Structure 1
Amino acid sequence: MDSLAPLLTACVFFVGSHFLMSHPLRRAMVGRFGEKGFLGVYSLVSLAGFGWMIWAFSQSPAGEMYWAPTNAIWIVASILTLLAAILFVGSHKGNPAMPDPDGDVIRTLAAKVPTGVFRVTRHPMMWGFALWGLSHMLVAPRMDSFLFNGSLVFLALAGSYGQDRKKEASLGDAWVKWERQTSFLPRLSQLAKVEPRILLIGVIFWLAATWAHNLFGNYGAGIYRWVGL
């Protein structure tokens, strides 16, 4: 486990800095840097932490596999990453959870009837990250993978829960109404309501992302596991 200490340290910093800046340190940092300045510092610290995680992961020993990633597991993981891609792509349009220093845009969006991926979950971007991390733990069941990807899954889901509580406090009825119309957990039955354009872009993004594994010398992912390109 000592050989994984650098990765564990990076993961703790990445997750911990997010929670510290989002909650106990937020007010002081906003007072010091202003709302927009805070978002800039938050982004820089987050990028630095994620870069540290990636570097530490690349330097960590692979370790033993806890189970064999069979074809069935690869199929499940591929479906999860496809869903993650669709949710992530769709989350960039009309997302009331996006940073909004003044809160006006959020209130306007939260007052609308949810459409697209927001019919699936009110946190499509965070669930995209969580499903992405979970899928990678399934096909790479090693301790280094559990630390790296597990940190992303935990941060995405715990962060989403914390975001709901924070928005309830800052936006009041506007966010509560949005919560009543949406679901925290993904409702897969609502995928059929997602716009065809978002579905298409999500599939293209998924195909590109899974193909890109080859650029880093990794084994094929997604359909490229079975179709060599």
Structure 2
Amino acid sequence: MSLLVLGLILFLGIHSVSIVAPAWRDAQVARLGERVWKGMYALASLVGLMLLIYGYGLARQTPVVLYTPPPAMRHVALLLMLPVFPLLFAAYLPGRIQRTARHPMLLAVKLWAASHLLANGTLADVLLFGGFLIWAVADRISVKHRAVQHKVPGAPPGALNDLIALAVGLTAYVVFIFWGHAWLVGVSPMAF
């Protein structure tokens, strides 16, 4: 469990610098240069991600059950997950989805985390998905108060971007639900 917690602290911690210390972040970018800052940021993110994935896998081997969700929550989770992939793609494809959601990636993280909390009740699940949910809510609130908005680089605005985000996102959803989740996590969300 300690590797999961360490990974969460490192991964969500580096992603929280703009929330808790935006002036410090900007000073580091000015001092080190944007490329060096992004390199350090990426390295810390990668190490944190690897630790939390490995730690989550270890924690799942000896689960501590906090609650047992009703089986129907799996159906609710699948439904909540439906817009997640299109929202992720819309973050990089400016269009109506991006404008309406304002921050589609944060919305995708919130839906992903909430759906998994509804369907899973171990301590590792609560730490992982609860941590991401709290972070996404905090980041969304902080975005409203930041003076400078850092744009996510992506495609130029276009009329087809929403269609592309929906088509590619829904295809990714189907692939992930039927094959990818079992391959990556070892559990099929379709096994009821």
* TM-score, normalised by the number of residues in structure 1: 0.68
Aligned to 1:136: 116
Once the two structures are aligned, what percentage of the paired residues are identical? Answer: 25
Aligned to 2:84: 84
Are the equivalent residues in 1 in contact too, given 2:88–2:104 (CA < 8 A)? Answer: yes
1:202 aligns with 2:180: no
Are the equivalent residues in 2 in contact too, given 1:86–1:203 (CA < 8 A)? Answer: yes
Aligned to 1:101: none
1:9 aligns with 2:3: no
Aligned to 2:158: none
Question: Which residues in structure 2 correspond to 1:12-31 (within 5 Å)?
Answer: 12-20=9-17, 23=21, 25-31=24-30
Question: Which residues in structure 2 correspond to 1:1-229 (within 5 Å)?
Answer: 4-20=1-17, 23=21, 25-60=24-59, 61-64=62-65, 66-70=67-71, 72-94=72-94, 115-166=95-146, 169-170=147-148, 195-210=162-177, 211-216=179-184, 218-221=186-189, 224-225=190-191
Q: 1:217 to 1:7 in 2, by over 3 A?
A: closer
Q: When the two structures are aligned, how many residues end up with a matched partner?
A: 177
Rg: which structure is higher?
A: 1
Deviation at 1:138, TM superposition (A): 1.5
Deviation at 1:21, TM superposition (A): 5.9
Q: Note the residue ranges of structure 2 that are not aligned, 5 or more in a row.
A: 152-160
* Distance in 1 (alpha carbons) for counterparts of 2:69 and 2:15: 33
Letter of the 1:77 partner, please give it.
A
Q: Note the residue ranges of structure 1 that are not aligned, 5 or more in a row.
A: 95-114, 176-193
* TM-score, normalised by the number of residues in structure 2: 0.79
Are the equivalent residues in 2 in contact too, given 1:17–1:46 (CA < 8 A)? Answer: yes
* Distance in 2 (alpha carbons) for counterparts of 1:163 and 1:48: 25
* Distance in 2 (alpha carbons) for counterparts of 1:89 and 1:78: 18
* 1:133-168 superposed Cα distances (whole Å, 9 cap, x missing partner): 2211221111110101111112222122223322xx
Deviating runs (4+, > 4 A) in structure 1?
none
